[in-house]
Amino acid sequence: MAKDEAPKSAYEITLEKLRRQDRERGEEAQASLSDEQKSRIAEIRRRHEAHLAEREILFRSERAKAAALGDPEALEKVEKEYARERERIEARREREIAQARAAAGGAPGGPAAGGGAAIGGPAAGGAGKTRRRV
């Protein structure tokens, strides 16, 4: 065994196996994120976590009111509304994170792979032309 080939942990072996399976399926490794993308994603998470916390406070208040009335139907309605609202906020958070990951000008190997950056893409209402960096 060579010096640089130390025994691998089960974790490392599993990661290699998963990467190999991804390559066989034609999937690319996720590109590393730029500092700007990381900070944008962190800001998105903070904002949505604050919104979720706010909704939870309101939910607890509404649930306490419904419980005080002794109306099981009202209590169930409040709980269902809260669950729907949480799902909506979480879905929006994941959608915004995906957009931040795919943002043009991201890390190499990302959506602008091949050295080009999208100009006037579909999101901007353009024809999706690509400019090559020289």
Rounded to whole angstroms, how far apart are CA atoms 41 and 49? 12
Query: How do the domains of the chain map onto residue ranges?
Result: 35-100
Report the predicted TM-score, pTM, of the whole model to 2 decimal places.
0.56
117 vs 60: which has the higher pLDDT: 60
Residue 23 is predicted with a pLDDT of 82
Q: Residues 31-70: pLDDT tens digits?
A: 688 899 999 999 999 999 999 999 999 999 999 999 999 9
Residue 90: φ, ψ to 5°? -65, -40
Is pLDDT above 70 for 126?
no
Going by pLDDT thresholds of 50, 70 and 90, the confidence category of residue 129 is very low
